[in-house]
Structure 1
Amino acid sequence: MSVMDRSTRLPTADEIAGINRTHLIETPLRPADLLFMFGTREDVGLRADTAARLWREGYFRGSIVSGGVTPGSEQSECTVIKAAMIAAGIPADRILEEHRAMNTGENVIFSLPIIDAALSLANIRSVICLGNTWTARRYPMTLHRHWPEVTKMLLTVDSFATPRALWHTDAEFCRRMLHEWDKIELYRAKGFIAEWPEA
């Protein structure tokens, strides 16, 4: 069955349980050295507002936004998200920028030299990954593949009215979740991601 077929059918009870248990991971948050904001066109305002709340509550000292120009827009995801973060109250000088990435792997690969030049990777011991609910653990798994040394925390947001554990009852939420879930084993096999959290 192709990935396309999987995203248009209902998942089995075992798949629902597996996704809820292993993909939709929630980690306790504690103050981190860096907030890593992965690029998106979805729920930008919600993402920026969440980052601003974390900033006000002292959960990070610096941040990086990563995301390139996607079809249908002349501005990079980074440009759009950073503007929303500033509007939400995060100081511009606390937001590093990466404007080329077109996927999660590039988000990390292209951001690491920028973080290193500005802050020194040696000074970063903990990172909060902030992104879409359906992408979930693939953010820290990608980060873990390229930057295993840092402690990773995960916070995800979405604007679906459907509770997260009932994602399978909303057609669009279900489609997005299965689309991402299908990438995990493929990406692991190709070495794009590394197991996280580690057993």
Structure 2
Amino acid sequence: MSTKDSSARLPSADEISEINRRHLIDTPLAPADLLFMFGTREDVALRAKTAARLWREGYFRWSIVSGGVTPGSEQSECTIIKAAMVAAGIPADRILEEHRAMNTGENVILSLPIIEAALGLRNIRRVICLGNTWTARRYPMTLHRHWPEVEKMLVTVDSFATPRGQWHTDAEFCRRMLHEWDKIEPYKAKGFIAEWPEP
């Protein structure tokens, strides 16, 4: 379904229920070896604040930020997000950088060699994915496609006043959620992502 269709249609009660159950997954948090920060232009300060809280609470030892230069900016998403994370209290030398990725698949594909060189992939057993609420499980699904060995956890953030489970009552929240939800099956069919959590 196209973006235009996603923004125009209204979800049925069954679809709302399915999205809340299958897409907006909550995972129990445990201390991880790595926080994977997916690039974005949305809610950067909120993401950095959330990452800093996780850091202070001992939930990760290393982080990687992945994101390239997007239209209208001279700096990469990585540069902007890392600066916000450092300002929020995370040591700069604990944040690995990936500056070329232009989509979620590239976030993972281009980050893996960087993680391997700096830390060794075999030394990473648990990863926390941090990103936008509406993208939800597509982050760990992408990671699972390219790095199935690690345990994946998911933390999502957004600045909508609307509660997460009521996303369908806010026009913009609804548009973003449906746009991402509509990618899941086509992306699985193309091999961009893998089922997660596994049945």
Q: Which runs of 5+ in 2 are unaligned?
A: none
Looking at structure 1, the residues matched to 84 and 2 of structure 2 have their Cα atoms a distance apart, in angstroms, of: 37
Q: Which runs of 5+ in 1 are unaligned?
A: none
- Within 5 A, what are the aligned runs for 1:28-107? 28-107=28-107
Displacement of 1:9 in angstroms is 2.0
Looking at structure 2, the residues matched to 31 and 112 of structure 1 have their Cα atoms a distance apart, in angstroms, of: 20
- Within 5 A, what are the aligned runs for 1:140-155? 140-155=140-155
Looking at structure 2, the residues matched to 55 and 2 of structure 1 have their Cα atoms a distance apart, in angstroms, of: 38
Query: How big is the alpha-carbon RMSD for the aligned residues of Structure 1 and Structure 2?
Result: 0.7
Displacement of 1:8 in angstroms is 1.9
Bigger Cα displacement from structure 2, 8-17 vs 105-114: 8-17
Match for residue 175 of structure 1?
Answer: 175
Query: Residues 57-104 of structure 1: CA distance to partner in whole angstroms, max 9, x if unpaired?
Result: 000000000000000100000000000000000000000000000000
Query: Residues 119-148 of structure 1: CA distance to partner in whole angstroms, max 9, x if unpaired?
Result: 000000000000000000000000000000
SS in 2 for 1:54: helix
Query: Residues 23-66 of structure 1: CA distance to partner in whole angstroms, max 9, x if unpaired?
Result: 00010001000000000000000000000000000000000000
Displacement of 1:187 in angstroms is 0.3
Match for residue 119 of structure 2?
Answer: 119
Displacement of 1:5 in angstroms is 1.5
Looking at structure 1, the residues matched to 13 and 105 of structure 2 have their Cα atoms a distance apart, in angstroms, of: 30
Looking at structure 2, the residues matched to 123 and 161 of structure 1 have their Cα atoms a distance apart, in angstroms, of: 39
Structure 1 pair 113–2 and aligned structure 2 pair: CA distance change class (3 A): closer
Looking at structure 2, the residues matched to 103 and 118 of structure 1 have their Cα atoms a distance apart, in angstroms, of: 22
Letter in 1 for 2:163: P
